[in-house]
A and B are shown apart, each in its own frame.
Chain A
Amino acid sequence: MNLATLSADQVEAERLMTVCNSCRYCEGLCAVFPAMELRRAFPAGDLNYLANLCHGCGACYVDCQFTPPHEFKVDVPRVLAAVRAGSYADYAWPRAFAGLFRRNGLVVSLIAALSVALFVAGFALVHDRSALFAVHVGPAAFYKLMPHNTMAALFGGVFLYAILALAMGLRAFWNDIGAPDTRGVETGSLWQAIKDAGSLRYLDGGGVGCHNDDDQPTDTRKHWHHATFYGFMLCLAATSVATLYHYLLGRQAPYPWYDLPVVLGTLGGIGLLVGPVGLLRAKLKRDPLLRDESRFGMETAFLAMLFLTSLTGLALLVLRATPAMGTLLAIHLGVVFALFLTMPYGKFVHGLYRFAALVRYAKERKMIEAGHGEA
């Protein structure tokens, strides 16, 4: 093995996987260890695969007889978290932006602040005070402040860029983690991964619950993550329905409170308020031994962006018939713009890479069950 190609975190992960592979007591806890058992050597791509397969439930730490202060110093959740975070930069597209993952909290905060400032300033420059602080109601009220086509072009543009950058990163990850003969995807593995990701199957400590604060399996991150994830998906659905309304039915935003885009957006918004707060609280209470401190900024920044997106969106909904609407719209659009722009360069990518790792694992499971596995 050429150690020069591994990062310091990967070197440590490789050491741990060698220790774990000679033990295997944890193989019933999650997907990481059965995948490990199929291997004897752990090159960078495989370590990134295992790291993204790990959901950080902490069970293997609590169950391990070799954790610190034992001289083997086995701490799989923390080390794989560090490798995982490193992998986000490894696969960033374009390569030149990989550095954005360093001091990511600061980067995301600056972009968000700048984006909000530009939208507010833009609104202020284009409109006189009377229009900006006037009460606008009825269909197309938002577009009196920003023409629909401008809005669509700006957000469609940044959205497409984000999709492109994410797709390129995902492609690089997939090629790096897959043995050449297993790169194809069939629907069975895809469906299995959708079920595993959608239920957070591997965030339950092998069935008893996760460990976060200490060795009691009382972790509730699964619920907060569901609130966040499904909240995000509902918001995405709200936007999609609204887009269909606009182009297919010719109905212009804002919509009444009982209409589908508003209902979906409100429910999703509540999830995006509650979920990130719960996840942040869990993060602050997490056992320091399980925590990868250096990535705290990146994780907090992503939670903050989701929370702010929802908060500004709901504020806009509640106050859209008041003179505050203009300012709130500018702030909300600024936050959403920054969210899209930073998506490929922040914690958002964890979902894609973990999903891809789960697809790969579903394929490997089939190989194990068919008896082709090494173990």
Chain B
Amino acid sequence: MIDLTQRFDVLVAGGGNAALCAAIAARRAGASVLVLEGAPRFYRGGNTRHTRNMRCTHDSATETLSGPYSEDEFWEDLWRVTGGRTDEELARLMIRESRAMLGWIAEQGVRFQPSLGGTLSLGRTNSFFLGGGRAMLNALYRTAERLGVDILYDAPVTDLDIQDGMFLSATAAIGGKPVEIRAGTFVAAAGGFEANIEWLKEYWGEAAENFLIRGTPYNKGALLKLLLAKGVQQVGDPKQCHAVAIDARSPKFDGGIITRLDCVVFGIVVNRNGRRFHDEGEDFWPKRYAIWGRLVAAQPDQIAYILFDAPSLRMFMPSLYPAIEASTIRELATKLTLDPDALAATVEGFNAAVVPGTFDHTALDDCRTEGLTPPKTHWARRIETAPFYAYPVRPGITFTYLGTRVNKDSRILMSDGKSSANMFAAGEIMAGNVLGQGYAAGMGMTIGSVFGKIAGTSAAANARN
């Protein structure tokens, strides 16, 4: 039984990678630590449950990484995906610290493996967790428990007592009853608000009702909302979120990685009216992967259909749900409840515009359309060999960018620009400092681990003073 009347050195709100790295780092620095995870034990860890790798700088190939990844290259990648919308000081700090993170995280019991099948493009840059994100999380929890970190589940923070940027206490719902918990320092690591449909609607309107949420239903952003309401400085575009096109038949929440579909490149994508709306051959995975969620979100009813024919069926990862199959395009349209005439016209128009080329899905090949709007600039092949297939897709929201501004100690900044006396933030709740927009695989975990460790270390030092 944990004595909740005591004053903890460090109180961590959240239970994912960032929260646990903060808790472990603070505990290793000698602080007493309480972790309040809002979700039940099974759903602990928020989006970390569904992750599989982290992106860290390293000087040479290792047993699990196929080659070096320099700080400069990491910076260039980050600059490119964010279009320069990043806090350079924090971003460069994160990249620098990521070098030591691979060793540190392994010391906490996390194990790595070579990149997963089908992800060879990440084998050099990203370190994959053996057994995936939940295995990583389990290792962190085991280590935290062994070190003597106190952990409570089903314990969401419902209120904060903050005066002049100074944290005094938090109120958490524990066993359904409000309990006030005092601590010397506070680490906010409770993720974003992607599972809060009402909040998403403030920016997306009714369209948000049709979004699918890839993580747990517990990512409601309650702590973020509290902090912003109590004078913490905001960072990041509230409308920005990482959205990919996922199978429309997926569960509303927590479908995770397995609902993804990466077959846009092999066919065409039409909306509810049976019309194409974007160049399916624009770019490679993972770039194209990250844009299609937003493209589908902009279509009527937030739904679209990926269409392809028999020769493409086995060219991509097997899907969770089987592709919808038909012997003609019109029959396929009927099965999808689309207008058969409209769909047939779209496919005929597309087929007529395809120019001959040599198909190579590993390169930006010369298979393209001519005189078609929008064009398909690569990998365009006629859709003509039965059976024909389709996947219905909807926007799958992975995470949000709105967060709390922090400095290089992961210390929260207040809206008047002053730094908080004793509050820190790590992980998705402050990812917007580094990611103004865009994403590259594994960065979320890097942000969580690096700033989690910094926040925990800073908080422990702060608590001793």
Residues 121-154 of B, flagged 1 when their CB comes within 8 A of A and 0 if not, give: 0000000111111110010001000000000000
A28: chain B residues at CB < 8 Å are 113-114, 128, 130-131
B118 on the A face (CB < 8 A): yes
A16, chain B: closest CB distance, angstroms: 11
| Chain A: minimal CB distance from B126 (Å) | 14
Give residues of chain B (22-55) contacting chain A, Cβ–Cβ below 8 Å. 42, 49-50, 52
CB <8 Å contact, A24 and B117 = yes
B177 at the interface (CB under 8 A from A): no
Report the separation of the CA atoms of residues A25 and B49 in the bound assembly, to the nearest whole angstrom.
11
A315 to chain B, nearest CB (A): 44
A23, A34, A59, A63: the one contacting B257 at CB < 8 Å is A23
Indicate the size class of the contact surface on chain B.
Answer: 20 to 34
A207 at the interface (CB under 8 A from B): yes
Scan B262-286; emit 1 where CB is below 8 A from any A CB, else 0. Answer: 0000000000000000000000000
Chain A residues whose C-beta falls within 8 Å of the C-beta of B116 in the assembled complex: 24-25, 27
Bound form: Cα–Cα A19–B250 in Å: 12
Asked if A216 is an interface residue, CB under 8 A from chain B, the answer is yes
Which one, B50, B118, B257, contacts A375 given CB within 8 A? B118
Complex interface: chain A residues within 8 A of B9 (CB) = none
Residue of B nearest to A71 (CB): B251
A364 at the interface (CB under 8 A from B): no
A24 and B130 alpha carbons, distance in the complex (Å): 11
A65 touching B256 by the CB < 8 A rule? yes
B137-178 residues at the A interface, CB under 8 angstroms: 138, 142
CB neighbours of A26 from chain B (8 A): 131-132
B319 within 8 A of A: yes
Q: Is the CB of B320 within 8 A of A27?
A: no
* Beta-carbon contact of A65 and B132 below 8 Å: yes
B134's contact among A24, A34, A65, by CB below 8 Å, is which?
A65
Q: How far is the CA of A18 from the CA of B318 in the complex (A)?
A: 8
* Inter-chain contacts of B317 with A (CB < 8 A): 22
Which residues of A have CB within 8 Å of B257?
23, 25
Task: Judge if B92 is at the interface, Cβ distance under 8 Å.
Answer: no
**B85 interface contact, C-beta 8 A:** no
- Residues of B302-338 contacting chain A, CB below 8 A: 314, 317-320
Within 8 A of B (CB), among A41-87: 59-60, 62-67, 69-71
Partner of A25, one of B131, B138, B142, B254: B131
Q: Is the CB of A22 within 8 A of B133?
A: no
* Complex CA–CA separation, A40 to B114 (angstroms): 22
A293 close to B (CB within 8 Å): no
> Is there contact, CB below 8 Å, between A65 and B318?
no
Structural contact, A65 and B49, CB atoms closer than 8 A: yes
> Interface size for chain A: under 10, 10 to 19, 20 to 34, or 35 or more residues?
20 to 34
Question: B111 on the interface (CB 8 Å rule)?
Answer: yes
**Contact: A37 with B117, CB < 8 Å?**
yes
Answer yes or no: A287 CB below 8 A from chain B CBs.
no
Closest to A66 in B: B256
Name the one of B50, B114, B134, B142 contacting A216, with C-beta atoms under 8 angstroms. B142
Q: Does B291 contact A (CB under 8 A)?
A: no
With contacts A23-B258, A69-B42 taken as known, whether A206 is within 8 angstroms of B50 at the C-beta atoms is no
* Chain A residue at smallest Cβ distance from B131: A63
| Known A28-B130, A59-B131: A22·B320 in contact at CB below 8 Å | yes
Known contacts being A65-B134, A206-B111, A375-B118, is A19 close to B258, with CB within 8 Å? yes
Decide if A338 is an interface residue (CB 8 Å cutoff).
no
Query: Residues of B contacting A22 with CB < 8 Å?
Result: 258, 317-320
A70: chain B residues at CB < 8 Å are 42, 254
* Contact yes or no, A29 B131, CB < 8 A: yes
Min CB distance B108 to A, Å, is 13
The reply to whether A64 and B134 contact each other, CB–CB distance below 8 Å, is yes
Give A178 to B216 CA distance when docked, in angstroms.
41
Q: Check: A208 CB closer than 8 A to any chain B CB.
A: yes
What chain B residues lie within 8 Å of A19 (beta carbons)? Answer: 258, 320
Partner among B130, B134, B138, B318 whose Cβ is within 8 Å of the Cβ of A29: B130
The proximity string for B residues 13-25 relative to A, scoring 1 for CB distances below 8 Å and 0 otherwise, is 0000000000000
Contacts of B131 in A (CB 8 A): 25-26, 28-29, 59-60, 63, 206
Residues 1-47 (chain A) with a chain B CB within 8 angstroms: 18-19, 21-29, 34, 37, 40
Q: Are A206 and B142 in contact (CB under 8 A)?
A: no
Contact A63 B318 (CB under 8 A): no
CB distance from B453 to the nearest CB of A (A): 22
Distance A269 CA – B256 CA, assembled complex (angstroms): 50
Contacts of B314 in A (CB 8 A): 40, 374
- CB neighbours (8 Å) of A21 from chain B are 318
- In the complex formed, the residue of B with least CB distance to A62 is B138
Query: Across the interface, which residues of A come within 8 angstroms of B258, CB to CB?
Result: 19, 22-23, 66
Partner of A63, one of B114, B117, B138, B320: B138
| Chain B, range 401-420, C-beta contacts under 8 Å to A | none
Could you tell me if B256 and A27 are in contact, using CB atoms closer than 8 angstroms? no
Q: How far is the CB of B158 from chain A (nearest CB, A)?
A: 24
Known contacts A22-B319, A40-B314, A206-B131; is-contact A65 B117 (Cβ 8 Å): no
Knowing A22-B319, A27-B117, the reply to whether A63 touches B135 (Cβ < 8 A) is yes
Shortest beta-carbon distance, B46 to chain A, in Å?
11
Nearest residue (CB) in B for A70 is: B254
Q: List B contacts of A374 (CB < 8 A).
A: 314
Q: What's the Cα separation between A29 and B188 when bound, in Å?
A: 33
B111 touches A207 (CB 8 A): yes
Asked if A65 and B130 make an inter-chain contact with CB atoms under 8 angstroms apart, the answer reads: no
Chain A residues within an 8 Å CB radius of B254? 65, 70
Assembly CA distance A35 to B37 (angstroms): 37
Contacts of A216 in B (CB 8 A): 142
In contact, A40 and B133 (Cβ under 8 angstroms): no
- Min distance, Cβ B331 to any Cβ of chain A, angstroms: 22
User: Residues of A contacting B251 with CB < 8 Å?
Assistant: 71
**Which chain A residue lies CB-closest to B112?**
A28
* Contact indicator B138/A215 (Cβ below 8 Å): yes
Contact flag A24-B320 (CB < 8 Å), given A63-B135, A65-B134: no
- A59 to chain B: closest residue by CB: B131
B318 touches A40 (CB 8 A): yes
A62 in contact with B135 (CB, 8 Å): yes
Q: Which residues of A contact B135 (CB under 8 A)?
A: 25, 59, 62-63
* B38 vs chain A, min Cβ distance (A): 17
Q: A18-B320, A40-B318 are in contact. Are A25 and B111 (CB under 8 A)?
A: no
What are 27 residue pairs bridging A and B, where the CB atoms are less than 8 Å apart in the complex? A22-B317, A22-B319, A22-B320, A23-B256, A23-B258, A24-B116, A24-B118, A25-B131, A25-B133, A27-B113, A27-B117, A28-B114, A40-B314, A59-B131, A59-B135, A62-B134, A62-B138, A63-B132, A65-B132, A65-B133, A65-B254, A66-B256, A206-B131, A207-B111, A215-B138, A375-B117, A375-B118
| A18-B320, A19-B320 given; 16 more Cβ-contact pairs under 8 Å | A21-B318, A22-B320, A23-B132, A25-B257, A27-B117, A28-B128, A28-B130, A60-B131, A63-B131, A65-B254, A65-B256, A70-B42, A206-B131, A216-B142, A374-B314, A375-B117
Binding site for B on A (CB under 8 A): 18-19, 21-29, 34, 37, 40, 59-60, 62-67, 69-71, 206-208, 215-216, 374-375
